[in-house]
Amino acid sequence: MSSIQVAALTDVGRVRTNNEDTFGIDSEHGLYLVCDGMGGAAAGEVASGMACSTAMESFAVQADHSEGFTLSAFEDRLSASIRAANAAVYRAGRGDEHHNMGTTLVAAAIAGNTLLIGNVGDSRAYVLQQEGWGQVTSDHSYINELIRTGSIRAEDANAPELARFASTITRAIGAAEEVHPEFFPVDLSDGDTVLLCSDGLTRYLDSPEFNILIDTSDLESSCQRLIDSAKESGGIDNITCLLLRYSEGPAR
């Protein structure tokens, strides 16, 4: 019998006055989310909250009670949930009150020892396995597109002349009627740990720092250390992190 330990924290950061990040935890159905909203006034927090709640409701409604598990059916279920979130945010963003709002979304769905990551935008998922921390998702961002096409080198992504593009994303929940999430399946082993986070964290921290800051035996304190470190490094954006630890036995 497997079990999941989870902890999550979100922080407004040192500059912003409101928090447009949202996280969601549904341990019963095995779905965990981080969303980073965008839009004028309070539209970003509306978008992230709406996307998170809609995706979780859709995923729960589709609960699979069949005896067999297939990865394709699991991906279809997560995809439908993300598309439901997109439809809700897109419709709400057509009105004047929250015009053109949107949000990133990164999801971790777990069934048995199968982890399925889905993402839209530049919120990220990382997994700690035997070989160390590795980034699972690929940012849907303008800068990552420049790297992918060879226009710039990865080590130049933080160059000052590119700073104005740091938060420019190429896909978002609610930006269009259709959304195109990417999916990444991972086979989990005992002790594997998953990090979902908004770009308020990853603009300052990456895999090498995770080795120092994350103690897999104390997920909540680890979340706090990650946030504190990002704030000490600048904290110009909202910061959210969600940590999961997979165990092949019951929760300790």
- 172-201 pLDDT, tens digit per residue, is 999 999 999 999 999 999 999 999 999 999
Predicted confidence at residue 251, as pLDDT, reads 57
The confidence band for 6, taking pLDDT boundaries of 50, 70 and 90, is very high
pLDDT of residue 99: 85
140-156: average pLDDT:
83
Give the per-residue pLDDT at 83: 98
CA distance 174 to 71: 26
109, pLDDT greater than 70: yes
Report which DSSP code applies to 163: G
User: Stretch 16-41: mean pLDDT, rounded?
Assistant: 94
Please give the pLDDT value at position 66. Answer: 66
The domains of the chain are located at: 3-247
Q: 97: pLDDT confidence band, cut at 50, 70 and 90?
A: confident
**CATH entry, 3-247, from 3.60.40.10, 2.40.160.60, 3.40.50.300, 3.40.50.450:** 3.60.40.10
CA atoms within 13 A on the CB side of 36: 28
Rounded Cα distance between 160 and 174, Å, is 30
Stretch among 105-114, 164-173, 177-186, 212-221 having the lowest mean pLDDT: 164-173
- 3-state secondary structure string across 52-92: HHHHHHHHHHCCCCCCCCCHHHHHHHHHHHHHHHHHHHHHH
| pLDDT for position 153 | 85
- Per-residue confidence (pLDDT) for residue 157, from 0 to 100: 78
